[in-house]
Amino acid sequence: MPAPKKTVASKKKAPSKPAKKALPQKKTVASKKPAPKKVAPKKPAAKKPAIKKASPPKPANKKKVVAKAPAPKAKVPAAKPAPAPVKPSPAKPAAKAPPPAKPVAAAPAKSVAAPAKPSVAKVAAPDEKPVAKTAPSPAAAPKPAAPAASPSAKKAAPTLPVEVVAEPPPPPAKRIPSQPLPPPGPTKSGALFYDSHMHTPLCKHAWGEPEEYAEQAVKAGLKGIIFTCHCPMPNGFWPSVRMAESEFDTYVGLVQRAADAFKGKLDIRLGIESEFFPGCEEYITQLHQRADFHYVLGAVHWQAKEYLNKFETGTIENFRRTYFEHLAKSAESGLYDALAHPDLVKNYHPDSWCFAIVKNTVAGALDRIAATGVAMELNTSGLNKSYSEMNPGLEMLRMMAERKIPIVVGSDSHRSVRVGEHFVTALNNLTEAGYENVSYFLNRHRIDLPISDVLASLKKAADHNA
């Protein structure tokens, strides 16, 4: 039994030593051992903790020094892995990106710029695969060259469909061959002028066969008519007001049938009312190659659901300004001979139409159109619309005359009885606005006539055919 007591005593002496070491923690030492007997050893120990207090800052300084030392070491290894990812990174494909840029520079930038994103991607999708194959061949080793080639292929792709379409246009089954132009002067009846805008039942909102339109044209004292039915469009764009893609050849055949039936009585030509919608320029370019059109009439239709969904934002005035911006862009696209019903947007909330509000916008658009040389249309059917006025109105017509923009007259007939309707009024409006000549198109070339001669011919031919 005394033996274990000794061990207990030894254990009591053992914590005394760590107690001296644990002096910096005053709370723990004071709480555990209050022994006043050990106050005496604390005095010599007070010198030691002073040394111990000085000692912790030394390791702290050493730690600071050590912290500084590994900092440059950390920088050195950081610098080594940094160049490692740079070497396999797209630096190499970036250097090899200029080769695809060369065909882009060689291609016509104007035709590719506007329509590149929405429409060309669909047409060029099958052609992007060979482009992707040619791109990695110079890159050879690095695999990241494949993703680098994909954006370059998108840039270079538009050049391919343009070349393919230009060289072998798709062969339509019923293509109207080039026909000789009629003599430049009036016919025996005195007829001299053409109605350059009318439709067929294929547009789903017109009535009467082409032959019925031709009969009315003879009565109106016209020398000829040009059918301009609404063109097909891709992706189901506003399908309720236009021929389907599969009906294009049918349309060409209808016009040819009427031309054969009225040969020697009336000159009937094939035209098209060709939609302008940003992103569809490539499709329209290819469409114009599918037949021998004598006249291509560009049109911006704000009524389309697709157009309203995309551009009907903000105020009514801003929407109208957007319309005139697109009218100018359609002329600058180079796709059209003339622009149809150029202020059609006044039928958008017609009760609030005020030309003075958008006059500056219209002036800027007309300046751009005049620079292209594209003609514009005086559309007589505006008298039958919600805002009862020809398109354009007299004030805008004066601005067009000041800029010497060529003018074409069209009835926009969706019924045969409207062929040549209000033409005398339209020609008088042109004279009042400052025009001296009026035009029509054959074989995509503009023919100008004095307004006074056209007025006289209409009256003479109508009397002769009555």
The predicted-structure confidence for 133-188, as pLDDT tens digits, reads as follows 333 333 333 444 444 444 333 444 443 333 333 333 444 434 445 567 777 788 98
Helix (H, G, I), strand (E, B) or coil at 178: coil
- Give the CA count within 13 Å in the CB-facing half-sphere of 425: 15
Q: How confident is the prediction for the chain on average, in pLDDT?
A: 75
Q: What pLDDT is stored for residue 466 in this prediction? A: 84
Asked if residue 273 lies in contact with residue 231, where contact means CB atoms within 8 angstroms, the answer is yes
Could you read off the pLDDT of 63-101 as tens digits, one per residue? Answer: 443 434 444 444 434 444 444 443 444 444 444 444 444
**Separation of alpha carbons 448 and 55, rounded Å:** 106
Residue 179 CB-density burial (10 A; 0-12 exposed, 13-18 middle, 19+ buried): middle
What's the pTM? 0.64
Q: What pLDDT is stored for residue 185 in this prediction? A: 82
Q: What pLDDT is stored for residue 179 in this prediction? A: 64
Could you read off the pLDDT of 239-263 as tens digits, one per residue? Answer: 999 999 999 999 999 999 999 999 9
Give pLDDT < 50 ranges for the chain. Answer: 1-176
Give which of 117, 35, 2, 4 is closest to 15, Cα–Cα. 35
Percentage, residues of the chain above pLDDT 90: 59
Query: What is the torsion angle, in degrees rounded to the nearest 10, for the CA atoms of residue 320, residue 324, residue 326 and residue 331?
Result: 160
The kind and range of the H/E element at 459 are helix 451-465
Q: What pLDDT is stored for residue 182 in this prediction? A: 76
Q: What pLDDT is stored for residue 69 in this prediction? A: 40
DSSP string, 36-67: GGGHHHHHHHHHHHHHHHHTTHHHHHHHHHHH
Query: What's at 408, amino acid-wise?
Result: V
Q: What pLDDT is stored for residue 178 in this prediction? A: 54
**Separation of alpha carbons 461 and 466, rounded Å:** 8
Give which of 344, 259, 322, 333 is closest to 296, Cα–Cα. 333
Cβ partners under 8 Å of residue 305, min gap 6 = 238
